[in-house]
Amino acid sequence: MKKILVSGLIAGCILFILSYGGLYLAVRFFPSLFSEYNNPLFNSDGSRDILFYLHAFIFSFALSWFWDRFKALFKGAFIVRGLEFGLVYSVIALLPVMWISFSALDITVIMVFSWFAYGLLQAIIAGVVFAKINP
């Protein structure tokens, strides 16, 4: 349990920093994509903003448990294991969520693709961290 919590916390910190650095860069270099967020669907009164900021940690702890449970299935160097882990997670969880999001919400294909790419990158980074810390 300690390995799950420690690796989840480390991955959460790394993802938190990379996510917000990446968000800053993405807004700066792809402003047209982020103009799509000026939609009533994404407006919040601010009461739940903390949930948004904690997502990297919630995501990392969940993936850390998943890693600990299934890490024996991933073979090779830690980078290969992390990459495969991220791809498996993306196919099993992200793809169905993106499918239902696109079918149920008024969002664009580009937005869904960017969310999928973001989640895939996060899962790969977390997988590499887990493979290194909790082999």
Show me where the domains of the chain are located.
Answer: 2-133
The two tokens of residue 113 are 């693709």
Q: How far is CA 13 from CA 9, 95, 98, 116, 129, in A?
A: 6, 25, 25, 21, 11
CB neighbourhood size of 88 (10 A):
16
**Eight-class DSSP state of 59:** H
pTM of the model: 0.85
**Which pLDDT score is estimated for 19?**
87
- pLDDT one digit per residue (tens) for the chain, 135 residues: 888 999 999 999 999 999 888 888 888 888 877 777 666 666 667 778 788 889 999 999 999 999 999 999 999 999 999 999 999 999 999 999 999 999 988 888 988 998 899 999 999 999 999 999 988
